Amino acid sequence: MRSIDYFDRGHDRNPDRLAIVDTASGLKLTFAEVKALTEQIAAALQRGGFQSQDLLGLYGPNDGMLLVVLLAMWRANGKWIPVNTRNAIDANAGYINYVRCQWLFYHSSKADEVAQLRALCPTLTNFVCLDQACGIDPSLDQFVAGVAAKDFIEPECDAFGNMMDLVGIFPTGGTTGPSKGANVTNLGWGTMIETAADAMGGRTDNPVALVSAPITHAAGPIALSTLSLGATQVILPGFDAEGVLSAIADYQITHMYLPPTALYQLLASPEIGRHDYSSLKIFILVGSPCSPEKLRQAVEVFGPCMCQSYGQVECPMIVAWFPPEDVARFAYEAPEKLASCGKVTRSIKVALLDDDGNHAPLGESGEICARGVLVSHSYFEKPEETAEVRKFGWHHTGDVGKFDADGYLYIVDRKKDMVVTGGFNVFTTEVEAAITELAEVRECCVFGIPHDKWGEQVHAVVVADGVDEAAIIAHTKSRLGGVKAPKSVAFIDSIPRTAAGKMDKKALRLPYWGGSERMVN
């Protein structure tokens, strides 16, 4: 099925049910109203020259109409280009130019940044501001004026639901250049939605999902999964611990998604325990491994709703699933299993392989490799990178894991040089390249170290003369944005190296992680 078909499935359950509640603007829309709006916006896109499989980006804070436009773009059979507002402008411009995105819908609060993108991105030729007219750009109301839902022309579709059409080109994180774009098809996307909906559904007749993570990041796909169940989406403008805790009780939230770092902020909030959380059926943690102790505490606070899933952009969201029933049971019976990310789902096959493609014995670690329709098609215009990540007939995730005798999967390290901080991927080679642009820096090694709030923080070890920590952080922030910039810098005389002459990151990381069995948070 097509991406929009999953929204329509939720619509058909009860068209009169509220689909969107925007807590900031007060906007409330039923499924019937959202469907009509998506048809009207899709018709306006077609009037403006938008063709099937054209590319469209969204840029702004969480907003109910941002989600509506995302659905409208899929109704017109477009391809979504996520644009992260936390990235530096140059990084976003690099990705937009790489995929040659043509359309950008944005919120007026980001007008200054959009002006910079306009100057840097020659392929961006169509701009619409969601909430008001902005310079030469029309507001969304102006953009749709003169067209109606009935004017929408359904794009051609075959009996297989255009399964190989793309729903988007999703950035995977950069190395020394722009991010690679993962070509995600209707086939893979639909597999993800159906697997996730099956895992999360069936627990209530009145599903209400809280959206506080960025819609332009992972919250968009998860919202579509719960919309297919007929869930009302309660949208917060962003994550705020106290706001989330009160919203659970105020709106009787049943489903919510957050990265583990946001969970840690909830647990540390002075408001914890002051609200009723009994409505929660699914509180899903996605984006990075969760501290087992924090997960145990969360079960005590929020009840038997805590669950985890494991995936990545190239095989999204639900390679493995740790259901709330198991998490709640193990919190008391076998807390050591809370370090797991669950069992492999029915939609994909997983193997742990060594560098030669051999399967790791039970209990031993290997690279987590996946095979099945959940895996994305390829990297956009990067055939060599696609071939490299698909060696031995498997997709290689870059994560290192192991299975226990009961089939639970544990992530123990990362083969790729990547830090997951606050749910965002930071590739260390990109940060190292930015730091070594400074003439005073001779060598640099970047890795993740534990952080109570963010799970991991970006840390740099530098060999340099005549430059201090503040200057390195400021330079990197200006080049890559605040998420990717190191939060701390240590200076040493030389970088230790392995026998093969490579930087020995394991030796550098060890003092920060101590005797921990895994070097991820």
Domain ranges of the chain: 3-238, 420-513
C-alpha distance from residue 29 to each of 385, 438, 509 (Å): 43, 52, 50
- Per CATH, 3-238 and 420-513 having the same topology is answered no
Residues 6+ apart with CB under 8 A from 270: none
- For residue 185, list its beta bridge partners: 166
Which two tokens mark 334?
């076998």
C-alpha distance from residue 219 to each of 8, 222, 268, 285, 469 (Å): 19, 5, 23, 11, 34
**Residue 246, H or E segment:** helix 241-250
Would you state the pLDDT for residue 231? 97
Q: CB burial class (10 A; 0-12, 13-18, 19+) of residue 157?
A: middle
Which two tokens mark 128?
């619409």
- CATH among 3.40.50.300, 3.30.300.30, 3.20.20.80, 3.40.50.1110 for 420-513: 3.30.300.30
Q: Supply φ then ψ for residue 368, to 5 degrees.
A: -75, 115
Would you state the pLDDT for residue 516? 65
Which two tokens mark 480?
């890559």
Contact 272, 301 (CB under 8 A): yes
Distance from C-alpha of 338 to C-alpha of 291, rounded to nearest angstrom: 8
E strand spans, 343-454: 343-344, 349-353, 366-371, 378-379, 395-403, 409-414, 418-421, 424-427, 441-451
What CATH code would you report for 3-238?
Answer: 3.40.50.12780
Would you state the pLDDT for residue 216? 80
Extract the residue ranges of the chain whose pLDDT is less than 50: 174-177
